[in-house]
Structure 1
Amino acid sequence: MPARKRNRNRVTSKPKAVSLTYKIQKQDGRLVQVCRAAFLGIVGVKKDRILRLAKTFMYTGKTPKENRGEDHVKDKKEKKLSLKTFIESLKCTENHYFRSDTPYRVYLPCDLNIRKLWKMYNDQADTNVKVKHCFFRNYFNKNYDVGFGTPQTDICSTCLQYKDKIKRCN
């Protein structure tokens, strides 16, 4: 005796809304109809993904838009341009000891750091071009060769003269 009885007169399943045919393009350009198992094995995707694509195409007439991997930062070009003008407006000094080794390396005062620069930028920036700290840090590190504080391994005569002048003024 069966565990459950079912009424064979009643139709319980819905009729199929759509029937799919699976075709693969051969090297000579001809399309060959294959079964679903072969199609899924060749393409390397699961059945549900194919059915979702077919259903979306049937209702909208378009394939669904891929949302993965998109850059979610809005107005990125405008923000980068604003960051560029801000960073290039900063007063930098050269390292006069090793100019030939690092000709493009410049230095900001030692009391600054990236977080302080980011706060200064966001304080003066409009609301539509304000950025997060990680965005500022990545842009700053990738596009500029800027250090903080002048390296003072030993002091040259020019530096000594300037320090003496500063001390005499006080």
Structure 2
Amino acid sequence: MRTKNDGLCNVSKKIVCLKAFKSLFCITKEQLETIRKSLIETEHLPQDGRGRHDNRPHRLSDYAKQAVLDHIKTFTLLKSYLGDYLLQELNTTRMRTLFQDAHPPYDVSHETYHNLLYENFNISFGYPRKDTCSTCDELVLKIQYAELKGA
């Protein structure tokens, strides 16, 4: 015979076994109690608060981000119909080192500098070796050979 508080709960007007409910949804009694209290007090499910705090001590300030973006804009871009390119002597490590030398108060990690570069700019390193396909190169060589042979 069942007692009044025998582990049954009333969910959506249907009585279900509390033990089966907890097992099915992998939820603890304390979690269910928190949900129940929130529904009684606010008539809404509790909000998930994970990751919602402002204690990020290593977060890069907006001023530092802008300084990095302005620094990247100072480099000369080589234009091509394929896109924009930086000199092949440059890479993200060298660019970050130059940034750190120019802006010592901003301690920007290599990963952060790299992410800002690739998220905000569509640029590559080194000019493309070829701007033509192999067929075009072959035809140019044939024309040059014919001109040399004919001259």
Pick the TM interval, shorter chain.
Answer: 0.5 to 0.7
Structure 2 equivalent of residue 51 of structure 1: 30
State yes or no: 1:38 paired with 2:23.
Answer: no
- Which amino acid in 2 is paired with 1:147? S
CA contact (8 A) 2:85 2:126 kept: yes
Question: C-alpha root-mean-square deviation of aligned residues, in Å?
Answer: 4.0
Structure 2 equivalent of residue 15 of structure 1: none
- Which amino acid in 2 is paired with 1:66? R
| 1:83 pairs with one of 59, 68, 73 | 68
TM-score (norm 2): 0.53
Q: Could you say if the C-alpha distance between residues 122 and 24 of structure 1 is closer, same or farther in structure 2, counting changes exceeding 3 Å?
A: farther
- Which amino acid in 2 is paired with 1:115? T
Cα distance, 1:148 vs. partner?
2.2
Runs (5+) with no aligned partner, structure 1: 1-20, 155-170
Structure 2 equivalent of residue 10 of structure 1: none
TM-score (norm 1): 0.48
Q: Deviations over 1:91-124 (max 9, x none)?
A: 22213xxx2xx3xx22222221111001111222
- Which amino acid in 2 is paired with 1:81? Q
Q: Deviations over 1:111-147 (max 9, x none)?
A: 21111001111222253x4221112112212322222
- Misfit runs of 4+, over 6 Å: none
Q: Deviations over 1:5-59 (max 9, x none)?
A: xxxxxxxxxxxxxxxx885642xxx6x67553133135x1243xx437859xx9x
| 2:79 pairs with one of 94, 101, 109 | 94
Structure 1 equivalent of residue 110 of structure 2: 133
CA contact (8 A) 2:76 2:86 kept: yes
- Which amino acid in 2 is paired with 1:139? L
- Which amino acid in 2 is paired with 1:36? L
* Pairs aligned (count): 115
Q: Deviations over 1:138-160 (max 9, x none)?
A: 22123222222323448xxxxxx
1:15-34 equivalence runs, <5 A: 25-26=11-12
Q: Could you say if the C-alpha distance between residues 136 and 46 of structure 1 is closer, same or farther in structure 2, counting changes exceeding 3 Å?
A: same
As a proportion of its length, which structure holds more helix?
2
- Which amino acid in 2 is paired with 1:122? Q
Runs (5+) with no aligned partner, structure 2: 1-6, 38-45, 132-151
Percent identity for Structure 1 against Structure 2: 19
Counterparts of 1:79 and 1:141, CA distance in 2: 16
- Which amino acid in 2 is paired with 1:148? F
